[in-house]
Structure 1
């Protein structure tokens, strides 16, 4: 998700949340007669008249279509994949197009990191993040891992990935997750 979608979500959630809290508090206050001079029943005199007019079906239909479009837009914005499948490589021109499977290259880079002492597991993928192409390597390391060794291996894997893909606009992000417990090998008796 982009920052604009996140901001819009938070603002909408705040407005809807405050509105629901206010409506709920008002309903409870009305139910327990905490509002002075509140009527026993709510009546909207304009509502029966409005439903009998010619424009009412058109207005409710337009409101329904508008809500459906807003809902579909919301779903599309939230379920848009950030993943990058294939990257166009240098050397592509009108005679042909050279492409590479970006995620396979990132996965291979992550796999090479699992050979490093202290790295329990690793995954890799290439995503489009805020308009930039980013190779993400996620490492799970042992609590006793030497961070200098892991850093050197991650830098080497990132450099190799950059060299293999051959794209100058490829950025790298390495995230380290420390395992809660040291991995123990099985005992044989």
Structure 2
């Protein structure tokens, strides 16, 4: 029963590595399976590097996947803490890379949190980032007020993309919108002066 339970909890390379154990007597097979798993996958350095890669090698996180990132980050922190290897990510360079994977509005918010910690003579550590990401996830996914946060973030993102259009200014008069280039009262999409401009002049 122990051997069957152990094998049901394994997958991929780990399961392939202990398949041979089912051919042995149950007690012997269980001991062989445990020894194989310890030798191949129980090495502390292997576990630590696997968690570090899972956090550091992922792309930037968007809002819908923020909860998943928060879970992985917290599990990584707990695993490194249990093994005594938090220093692997507990440095300013690694923390900066982790924060850099967050949506831009959360990166800006972390800057304020970072200043707040340092003003109290506290050096930001992995634990602070983990708590920040978790709290941000709760805020974004709040059933009552979370949508507003998401919409504000998306609006900020769209605003950056439309910076070109916002750079064209109109003067409001009683007759309607006056295009600033030719000062005629007509929509910008029909302005010959604007349409004839080179892209570098816009």
User: TM > 0.5 between the two?
Assistant: no
Q: If each structure's helix is expressed as a fraction of its own residues, which one has the higher value?
A: 2
Q: TM-score, normalised by structure 2?
A: 0.24
Q: Between the two structures, name the one with larger relative contact order (CA 8 Å, sep ≥ 6).
A: 1
Q: TM-score, normalised by structure 1?
A: 0.25
